[in-house]
Amino acid sequence: MQQPSPEPTPIILAIDDLRALPQATRLARTSCEGVQLLQEHRDIVIDELWLDHDLGGDDSIMPVVTLLEEAAFHGNPFEIGTVYVHSANPIGAETVVRCLSHWKYRVKRAVAQ
């Protein structure tokens, strides 16, 4: 009798400079690391993507948002189940939600902890 295959581990990526986000399978701390992380997962279904707006100093999530927008603009959006925006910056978070929603990414606002 053949054993059923185990369920694949969900791909949960997070980009946040401070939070631990233990549910994440991979974590980036800067926008540069975040862009690289997404590029490494370009042809893989990402179940969840967690984004913080402010990433310390002058860094923000906007280079990552630009990457996602450009991919969608060129007709090849990243395949992401849900993008969660969990920033404590309400204006920045709303900007991310608005930008990604415009390109038909499924985006939800989450409470920053």
Q: Where are the domains of the chain?
A: 12-109
- Residue 113 is predicted with a pLDDT of 55
Over its C-alpha atoms, the chain yields an Rg (Å, rounded) of 14
Q: How far apart are CA 62 and CA 44, in angstroms?
A: 22
Mean pLDDT of 91-102: 97
Given a cut of 70, is residue 98 above it in pLDDT? yes
pLDDT mean across residues, the chain: 93
How far is it, in rounded angstroms, from Cα 113 to Cα 109? 13
Hey, what CATH topology would domain 12-109 get?
Answer: Rossmann fold (3.40.50)
Residue 111 in this model has a pLDDT that exceeds 80: no
How distant is the alpha carbon of residue 58 from its chain centre? 19
Q: pTM for the full model?
A: 0.91
